[in-house]
C-alpha cells in the first residue's frame, strides 16, 4: 500500500482522491505538537503505556476540573458509549433517545437485550425535551442525548438540558455525548454538562479527540462519570488508548493555538456553506457541529451516487429523513467544489 501510494505520487501528479465529506473527519489536520509527541514516543513503543495513560488521565482531569477517579480513557469515545450500553442494558429495560440520532449506543444496548424508545425531533430538528421526558417509563434506565445531535447538528438550550437532567429520577442515568460540542457557538463554557458531573448528578459525559482535535485514526476519547458509575462500566473495559494516542492527546490539550484555529476554521467554513444554502433557498438544520444536514429532496442513495460520480463522498442515510443529506465540513476549497457541484445537481434535478 505504501509503495503503491509512492508510485502514484511519483507518476500521477495532479490526480486526486475523492473529497471525503462523509465521515465527520477533521479536514484541517491535527496539532503539530501532537505529531512531535508521537515521533518522540515512537522508539519506546516496546514498553506498555501505563505512565502515558496516567498522564492523559491527569491532563483530562485538570481540563474538566474533576478528580482523576472520574476519568475513563478509551480508544475513541465510541467505547464509552458501548460500555455504558452493556452496563445498563437488560431484557425489559429501555434507553430513550431521538431519531434521527447517533445510533452506536442504542445498537449495542439492543444487542445486549435492552429496548429503545425513540422520540422524534421537533420541527426545527432539535430535541423536544418534553417529549423525551414523556417517553420515560418505569423500565427506563438511560437517556442518551448527543449534543450537538448527529446528524442534525442542532444543540439543545443548556439551561433547559440542565433542568431536564436534574429532574430525572435518580436511578436513570443521563448519557450526554459531547463529541462535537467545542464547535457550537459559545463552546464548552456555554453548553457543556460537565458542571452536573461535578455536582454529583447521575450522568455520563463522553468526549473525543477524533473531531475538533483531528485525530480520528489514532483512537482516543474518554468518559467522565462518578466513581460508582465508572465501576459499573469498568466490567466491560477491554483496553484503553495506546501509548502514541495518549501522548498525542496530552500534547493536543496543550496546543491551544491549534484548537483555536481548528474551531475558527470549522465555524467560518460552516458559515460559508450555510450562506450558500440560504442563497439557494435550501432547507437545513442550524449546524453547531462539524457537519451540515440539508434537504436535497432527492433520495439519499441516489444523491450519494450523483455526488460519487463527481468524486465527492457525502454522508450515509439517516432514517427517517431519507431525502436529506449530512455533509461534513471539509476545507474551504473542498466545500467550494461541493457547493458548485451541489448547485449544478439541484438545477439539473429541477429543485
Ligand atoms: N459520538 C458521536 C456523536 C459521533 O458522531 C461519533 C463518531 O462519529 C462518536 C461518538 C465516536 O467517535 P470516536 O469513537 O472516534 O470518538
Mean pLDDT of the chain: 95
Do 143 and 223 share a structural domain?
Answer: yes
Sorted by sequence, the CB contacts under 8 Å of residue 189 that are 6+ apart come out as none
Residue 15: the pLDDT is 52
pLDDT single digits (tens) 110-151: 999 999 999 999 999 999 999 999 999 999 999 999 999 999
pLDDT single digits (tens) 214-262: 999 999 999 999 999 999 999 999 899 999 999 999 999 999 999 999 9
Question: Residue 31 pLDDT > 50, yes or no?
Answer: yes
**What is the Cα–Cα distance from 346 to 303, expressed in whole angstroms?**
10
Reading across the β-sheet that carries 115-120, which strands appear in turn? 71-74, 221-224, 203-208, 173-177, 140-146, 94-99, 115-120
Give the atom of ligand 1 at the shortest distance from the alpha carbon of 77.
Answer: 16
Count how many residues are written for the chain. 351
Taking the CA atoms of 1, 34, 292 and 350 in sequence, report the sign of the dihedral they define. Answer: negative
Q: How many domains does the chain have?
A: 2
At residue 201 the predicted structure's pLDDT band, cuts being 50, 70 and 90, is very high
Q: What are phi and psi of 170, to 5 degrees?
A: -60, -30
Do 176 and 79 share a structural domain?
Answer: yes
For the chain, the first-to-last Cα distance in angstroms comes to 42
The closest alpha carbon to 246, from 225, 223, 219, belongs to 219
Grid cell locating 327: 455533509
Q: What are phi and psi of 66, to 5 degrees?
A: -130, 160
Q: Which of 100, 148, 208, 238 to mutate to test ligand 1, by most ligand atoms within 8 A of the CB atom?
A: 208
At residue 17 the predicted structure's pLDDT band, cuts being 50, 70 and 90, is confident
Q: What is the CATH number of the domain that holds 331?
A: 3.90.1150.10
At residue 6 the predicted structure's pLDDT band, cuts being 50, 70 and 90, is very low
Residue 259, SS3? Answer: helix
Give the atom of ligand 1 at the shortest distance from the alpha carbon of 79.
Answer: 14
Please check whether residue 32 lies inside any domain of the structure.
no
Residue 218, SS3? Answer: helix
Give the atom of ligand 1 at the shortest distance from the alpha carbon of 24.
Answer: 8
Q: What are phi and psi of 176, to 5 degrees?
A: -110, 120
pLDDT single digits (tens) 257-281: 999 999 999 999 999 999 999 999 9
pLDDT single digits (tens) 285-329: 999 999 999 999 999 999 999 999 999 999 999 999 999 999 999
Please check whether residue 30 lies inside any domain of the structure.
no
Domain boundary among 254, 279, 310: 254
Please check whether residue 177 lies inside any domain of the structure.
yes
Question: Residue 69 pLDDT > 50, yes or no?
Answer: yes
Residue 151 Cβ contacting ligand 1 at under 6 Å: no
Domain boundary among 235, 254, 273: 254
Please check whether residue 207 lies inside any domain of the structure.
yes
Residue 83 Cβ contacting ligand 1 at under 6 Å: no
**What is the Cα–Cα distance from 261 to 61, expressed in whole angstroms?**
24
Give the atom of ligand 1 at the shortest distance from the alpha carbon of 150.
Answer: 3
Please check whether residue 29 lies inside any domain of the structure.
no
Please check whether residue 152 lies inside any domain of the structure.
yes
User: What domain range is 76 assigned to?
Assistant: 42-254
Domain boundary among 215, 236, 254: 254
What does the DSSP assignment read for 139-181? TEEEEEEESS-TTT-----HHHHHHHHHHS-TTSEEEEE-TTG
Q: Examine residue 148 and say whether the peptide bond preceding it is cis (omega within 30 degrees of 0).
A: yes
Residue 98 Cβ contacting ligand 1 at under 6 Å: no
Do 227 and 97 share a structural domain?
Answer: yes
Do 220 and 106 share a structural domain?
Answer: yes
Do 250 and 267 share a structural domain?
Answer: no
For atom 8 of ligand 1, which residue has the closest CA?
A: 24
Residue 350: the pLDDT is 86
Residue 333: the pLDDT is 97
Please check whether residue 127 lies inside any domain of the structure.
yes
Stretch 155-176: mean pLDDT: 98
Do 316 and 229 share a structural domain?
Answer: no
**What is the Cα–Cα distance from 7 to 18, expressed in whole angstroms?**
18
Do 239 and 263 share a structural domain?
Answer: no
Residue 327: the pLDDT is 98
The answer, yes or no, to whether ipTM is higher than 0.85 is yes
Helix axes 332-348, 300-309, angle to 10 degrees: 120
Do 343 and 299 share a structural domain?
Answer: yes
**What is the Cα–Cα distance from 180 to 147, expressed in whole angstroms?**
7
For atom 2 of ligand 1, which residue has the closest CA?
A: 179
Q: What is the CATH number of the domain that holds 216?
A: 3.40.640.10
Give the atom of ligand 1 at the shortest distance from the alpha carbon of 221.
Answer: 16
Do 59 and 14 share a structural domain?
Answer: no
Do 137 and 124 share a structural domain?
Answer: yes
Do 73 and 208 share a structural domain?
Answer: yes
Q: What is the pTM of this model?
A: 0.94
Grid cell locating 266: 470549522
Do 267 and 246 share a structural domain?
Answer: no
Ligand 1 centroid – CA 99 distance (Å):
16
Please check whether residue 162 lies inside any domain of the structure.
yes
Residue 74 Cβ contacting ligand 1 at under 6 Å: no
What does the DSSP assignment read for 52-110? HHHHHHHHHHHHHTS-GGGEEEESSSHHHHHHHHHHH--TT-EEEEEESS--HHHHHHH
Diameter of the chain measured on Cα atoms: 65
8 Å CB contact between 22 and 313: yes
At residue 14 the predicted structure's pLDDT band, cuts being 50, 70 and 90, is very low
Amino acid at each position: 500500500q505504501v509503495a503503491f501510494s509512492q508510485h502514484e505520487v511519483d507518476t500521477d501528479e495532479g490526480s486526486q482522491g475523492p473529497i471525503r465529506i462523509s465521515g465527520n473527519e477533521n479536514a484541517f489536520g491535527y496539532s503539530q505538537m501532537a505529531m512531535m509527541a508521537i515521533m518522540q514516543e515512537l522508539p519506546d513503543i516496546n514498553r506498555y503505556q501505563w505512565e502515558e495513560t496516567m498522564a492523559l488521565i491527569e491532563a483530562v482531569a485538570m481540563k474538566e476540573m474533576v478528580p482523576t477517579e472520574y476519568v475513563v480513557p478509551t480508544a475513541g469515545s465510541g467505547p464509552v458509549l458501548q460500555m455504558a450500553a452493556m452496563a445498563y442494558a437488560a431484557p425489559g429495560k429501555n434507553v430513550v433517545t431521538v431519531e434521527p440520532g447517533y445510533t452506536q449506543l442504542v445498537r449495542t444496548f439492543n444487542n445486549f437485550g435492552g429496548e429503545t424508545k425513540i422520540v422524534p425531533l421537533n420541527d426545527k430538528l432539535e430535541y423536544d425535551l418534553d417529549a423525551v421526558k414523556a417517553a420515560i417509563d418505569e423500565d427506563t434506565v438511560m437517556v442518551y442525548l448527543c449534543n450537538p445531535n448527529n446528524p442534525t447538528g442542532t444543540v439543545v438550550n443548556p439551561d433547559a438540558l440542565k433542568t431536564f437532567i436534574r429532574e430525572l429520577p435518580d436511578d436513570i442515568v443521563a448519557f450526554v455525548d459531547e463529541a462535537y460540542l467545542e464547535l457550537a457557538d459559545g463552546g464548552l463554557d456555554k453548553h457543556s454538562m460537565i458542571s452536573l458531573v461535578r455536582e454529583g448528578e447521575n450522568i455520563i459525559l463522553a468526549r473525543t479527540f477524533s473531531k475538533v482535535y483531528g485525530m480520528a485514526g489514532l483512537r482516543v476519547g474518554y468518559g467522565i462519570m462518578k466513581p460508582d458509575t465508572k465501576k459499573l462500566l469498568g466490567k466491560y473495559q477491554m483496553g484503553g488508548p495506546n501509548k502514541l494516542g495518549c501522548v498525542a492527546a496530552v500534547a493536543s490539550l496543550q496546543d491551544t493555538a491549534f484548537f483555536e484555529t481548528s474551531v475558527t476554521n470549522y465555524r467560518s467554513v460552516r458559515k460559508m456553506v450555510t450562506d450558500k444554502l440560504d442563497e439557494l433557498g435550501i432547507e437545513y438544520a442550524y449546524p453547531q457541529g462539524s457537519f451540515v444536514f440539508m434537504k436535497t429532496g432527492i433520495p439519499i442513495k441516489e444523491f450519494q451516487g450523483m455526488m460519487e460520480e463527481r468524486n465527492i463522498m457525502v454522508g450515509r442515510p439517516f432514517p427517517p429523513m431519507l431525502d436529506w443529506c449530512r455533509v461534513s465540513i471539509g476545507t474551504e476549497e473542498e466545500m467550494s467544489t461541493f457547493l458548485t457541484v451541489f448547485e449544478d445537481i439541484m438545477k439539473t434535478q429541477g429543485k
